[in-house]
C-alpha cells in the first residue's frame, strides 16, 4: 500500500518520531509521512516554540509529495534564525553546490537582511516562504541573538546577489545593501573619504576580493586595513557597477540618495561605468527627478 493510500498517522509518542525530534535518529531508519501531516506538525511545533525539534524533523522527514515539501524545508533558515543560530541559517541559505542556487526572492532577502541586522524576527506561523512577508507582522528581539557585523551582512548580501538572479536584478536589494554601510540603523552616515592612494589600490584588488567573498571564502584581512567600512562600501559599489553594465537597471535615484552623504563613493561608482552605462544611469536619475517635480507641480495645482 502506498503512503497516499495509508491512513496511518504516527502519534507524537511514536518511537521513530521521538528519536528524530530528540536528534537521536538512526540514518538507517526512514521517517515518512503525508504532506498534510508534515504541514500540521510544522504548524504545531512553531506554535509551541519548538524550533530545534522542527528543524530536525524537516531535515529528516520524507513525504508522498516532495514538490510540496521543498517550500516547507526552505523555511529551515528562518526557524534557525528564531533560535538565534544565524551562522547555521546562512549555511542553509547558501548550500555548497557547483552552481550557486538560492530560493531567495527580493522580499525574503530583505526580510533576512533585517533579521541579521537587528537580531529580531517577525512573530509568525508559516508554511510557505511567501508567508514570511506578512506586512503587519509584529517583530520581537530574538533571545540571546547578536546582530551580524557589518562585514558579515555584506558577505550575506553579496552571496545572495550571486546565488539568486531575482535578488541580483532588484534595485531595492542593492539600495538596502548600501544602507547597511551608509545608513546603519537607518541613520545616514558620512564616512571620511579615503586617500586617492587607497582608492587606486582597492580598484586593482576589488575583483579578486569580490570573487572570494561571493564564494564564501575567507576574505583577505589586508583589504580592509585603514578604512574597513569604506573598503566594504567599495566592494558593494564594484559589484553594483558590474550589475549596471550587464543589463537595464533602475530606478537609480534611490542609489544616488543612499550615497549622497558619501559623494566620494558615488564618484567611484561613476568612474567604474563605461560611457554608455554611465549616461543611461544618469538619464534614469534625471527622469526620476523630472517626474517628481512634475508630480509636485500637479499636486500644488490642487492645493487650496
Return the pLDDT at 293: 56
Residue 216 inside a domain? The answer is: yes
CB atoms within 10 A of CB 247: 8
Closest CA to 100 of 167, 195, 149: 167
Residue 132 inside a domain? The answer is: no
SS (H, E, C) 79-146: HHHHCCCHHHHHHHHCCCCCCCCCCCCHHHHHHHHHHHHHCEEECCCCCCHHHHHCCCCCEEECCCCC
pLDDT digits (tens, 9 = 90+) for 9-41: 899 999 999 999 999 988 888 999 999 999 999
Tell whether the model's pLDDT for residue 303 goes beyond 80: no
Return the pLDDT at 3: 44
Least confident interval from 25-29, 78-82, 83-87, 253-257? 25-29
Find out whether 237 and 269 touch, Cβ atoms under 8 Å. Answer: yes
Tell whether the model's pLDDT for residue 136 goes beyond 60: yes
Return the pLDDT at 20: 96
Residue 42 inside a domain? The answer is: no
Tell whether the model's pLDDT for residue 304 goes beyond 80: no
Return the pLDDT at 24: 92
For residue 53, say if its preceding peptide bond is cis, omega within 30 degrees of 0: no
Q: CA end-to-end span of the chain, whole Å?
A: 75
Return the pLDDT at 104: 93
Domain coverage including residue 241: 149-304
pLDDT band at 1 (very low <50, low <70, confident <90, very high): very low
pLDDT digits (tens, 9 = 90+) for 89-118: 999 998 776 556 678 999 999 999 999 999
Residue 1 inside a domain? The answer is: no
Query: Is the Cα dihedral 260, 254, 279, 294 positive or negative?
Result: negative
**Mean pLDDT along residues 150-170:** 93
Query: Is the Cα dihedral 290, 292, 297, 302 positive or negative?
Result: positive
> How far from 66 is each of 34, 48, 118, CA to CA, in Å?
10, 25, 34
Tell whether the model's pLDDT for residue 4 goes beyond 50: no
Return mean pLDDT, the chain: 89
195 vs 213: which has the higher pLDDT: 195
Return the pLDDT at 212: 78
Closest CA to 252 of 296, 294, 225, 284: 284
Residue 270 inside a domain? The answer is: yes
Residue with cell 544602507: 179
Return the pLDDT at 6: 45
Return the pLDDT at 2: 43
Return the pLDDT at 219: 65
Query: Is the Cα dihedral 15, 17, 23, 29 positive or negative?
Result: positive
Residue 87 inside a domain? The answer is: no
Return the pLDDT at 287: 83
% of the chain at pLDDT higher than 90: 70
Maximum distance among all alpha carbons in the chain? 76
Return the pLDDT at 234: 95
CA distance 20 to 11: 13
Residue 38 inside a domain? The answer is: no
Tell whether the model's pLDDT for residue 297 goes beyond 70: no
- Provide CB contacts within 8 A for 147, sequence distance 6+: 116, 117, 118, 119
Return the pLDDT at 295: 52
Residue with cell 548580501: 157
> How far from 245 is each of 37, 239, 240, 242, CA to CA, in Å?
48, 10, 9, 5
213 vs 206: which has the higher pLDDT: 206
Domain count within the chain: 1
**Mean pLDDT along residues 268-288:** 90
Residue 116 inside a domain? The answer is: no
Q: Which helix (H) or strand (E) holds 276?
A: helix 275-301
Tell whether the model's pLDDT for residue 220 goes beyond 80: no
For the chain, give percent helix, strand, coil, nearest 5.
65, 5, 35
Amino acid at each position: 500500500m502506498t503512503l497516499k493510500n495509508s491512513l496511518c498517522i504516527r502519534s507524537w509518542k511514536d518511537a521513530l518520531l521521538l528519536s528524530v525530534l530528540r536528534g537521536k535518529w538512526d540514518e538507517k531508519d526512514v521517517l515518512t509521512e503525508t504532506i498534510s501531516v508534515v504541514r500540521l506538525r510544522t504548524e504545531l511545533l512553531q506554535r509551541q516554540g519548538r524550533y530545534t525539534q522542527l528543524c530536525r524533523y524537516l531535515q529528516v522527514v520524507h513525504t508522498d509529495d516532495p514538490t510540496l515539501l521543498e517550500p516547507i524545508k526552505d523555511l529551515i533558515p528562518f526557524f534557525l534564525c528564531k533560535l538565534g543560530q544565524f551562522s547555521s541559517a546562512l549555511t542553509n541559505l547558501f548550500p555548497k553546490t557547483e552552481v550557486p542556487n538560492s530560493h531567495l526572492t527580493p522580499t525574503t532577502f530583505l526580510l533576512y537582511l533585517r533579521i541579521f541586522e537587528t537580531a529580531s524576527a517577525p512573530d509568525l506561523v508559516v508554511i510557505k516562504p511567501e508567508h514570511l512577508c506578512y506586512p503587519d507582522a509584529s517583530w520581537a528581539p530574538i533571545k540571546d541573538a547578536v546582530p551580524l557585523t557589518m562585514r558579515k551582512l555584506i558577505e550575506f548580501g553579496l552571496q545572495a546577489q550571486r546565488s539568486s538572479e531575482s535578488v541580483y536584478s532588484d534595485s531595492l536589494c542593492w539600495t538596502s545593501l548600501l544602507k547597511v554601510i551608509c545608513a546603519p540603523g537607518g541613520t545616514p552616515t558620512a564616512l571620511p573619504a579615503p586617500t586617492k592612494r587607497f582608492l587606486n589600490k582597492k580598484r586593482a584588488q576589488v575583483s579578486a576580493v569580490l570573487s572570494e567573498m561571493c564564494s564564501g571564502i575567507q576574505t583577505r584581512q589586508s583589504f580592509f586595513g585603514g578604512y574597513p567600512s569604506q573598503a566594504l562600501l567599495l566592494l558593494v559599489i564594484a559589484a553594483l557597477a558590474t550589475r549596471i553594465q550587464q543589463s537595464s537597471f533602475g530606478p537609480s535615484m534611490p542609489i544616488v540618495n543612499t550615497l549622497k552623504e558619501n559623494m566620494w563613493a558615488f564618484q567611484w561608482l561613476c568612474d567604474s561605468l563605461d560611457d554608455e552605462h554611465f549616461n543611461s544611469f544618469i538619464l534614469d536619475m534625471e527622469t526620476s527627478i523630472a517626474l517628481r517635480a512634475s508630480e509636485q507641480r500637479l499636486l500644488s495645482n490642487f492645493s487650496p
